[in-house]
């Protein structure tokens, strides 16, 4: 009878560890899905910003075309589970959109255009939502990383083929101060 109780306790502990690892993996998937939703909002907003900006920004035509190309790639990647690819592409889009926002400052008519003002405000709100979704994702990724690396849950994670996922980190360009003069040449 004692052996049965010990076996039952071990089975319950193992089951709880298994459930915990699965919950952490699912939380990461949910968190990344939240980022995808926010990125989709950004991708839907980009054509509006580009359409308004295109009327004014003759000299930045190449930049506008590059953002359009990156947005197309991002929309194709939305259905993919390639987290690293999405992170890399998102960083590229974020960098180019920053360049556009800095360039807008060089066009007084564009900067005062009511449609552009509203589009930029909406874009800034979406960027804040993306930042919040990234924080949630990184928190979930940290929990999964701990479960994958710390014994005894690491045994179950390894047996189930569950691995830690990458954190979303600031790219090197984001860590440097922005010099607006670089974009206004």
7-24 pLDDT tens trace: 999 999 999 999 999 999
pLDDT > 80? residue 163: yes
Percent of the chain with pLDDT over 70: 91
pTM: 0.75
Q: How far is Cα 86 from Cα 79, in angstroms, rounded to an integer?
A: 10
Straight-line distance from the first to the last Cα atom of the chain, in angstroms, rounded to the nearest whole number: 82
Q: Quick one: pLDDT band at residue 31, thresholds 50, 70, 90?
A: very high
Q: How far is Cα 134 from Cα 99, in angstroms, rounded to an integer?
A: 22
CA angle 56, 179, 88 (to 5 degrees): 80
Q: How far is Cα 75 from Cα 84, in angstroms, rounded to an integer?
A: 15
Burial class (CB in 10 A: 0-12, 13-18, 19+), 78: exposed
CA torsion through residues 42, 45, 47, 52, sign: negative
Q: How far is Cα 144 from Cα 24, in angstroms, rounded to an integer?
A: 5
Q: Quick one: pLDDT band at residue 173, thresholds 50, 70, 90?
A: very low
């Amino acid at each position: 009878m004692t052996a049965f109780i010990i076996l039952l306790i071990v089975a319950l502990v193992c089951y709880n560890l298994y459930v915990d690892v699965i919950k952490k993996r699912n939380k990461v998937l949910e968190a990344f899905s939240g980022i995808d939703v926010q990125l989709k909002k950004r991708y839907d907003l980009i054509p509006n910003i580009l359409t308004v900006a295109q009327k004014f920004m003759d000299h930045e035509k190449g930049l506008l075309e590059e953002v359009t190309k990156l947005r197309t790639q991002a929309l194709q990647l939305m259905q993919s589970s390639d987290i690293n690819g999405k992170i890399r592409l998102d960083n590229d889009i974020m960098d180019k959109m920053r360049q556009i926002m800095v360039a807008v400052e060089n066009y007084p008519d564009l900067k005062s255009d009511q449609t552009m003002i509203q589009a930029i405000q909406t874009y800034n709100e979406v960027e804040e939502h993306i930042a919040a979704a990234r924080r949630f994702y990184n928190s979930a990724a940290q929990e999964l990383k701990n479960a994958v690396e710390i014994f005894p849950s690491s045994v179950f994670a390894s047996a189930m083929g569950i691995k830690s996922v990458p954190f979303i980190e600031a790219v090197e360009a984001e860590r440097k101060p922005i010099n607006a003069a670089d974009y206004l040449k």
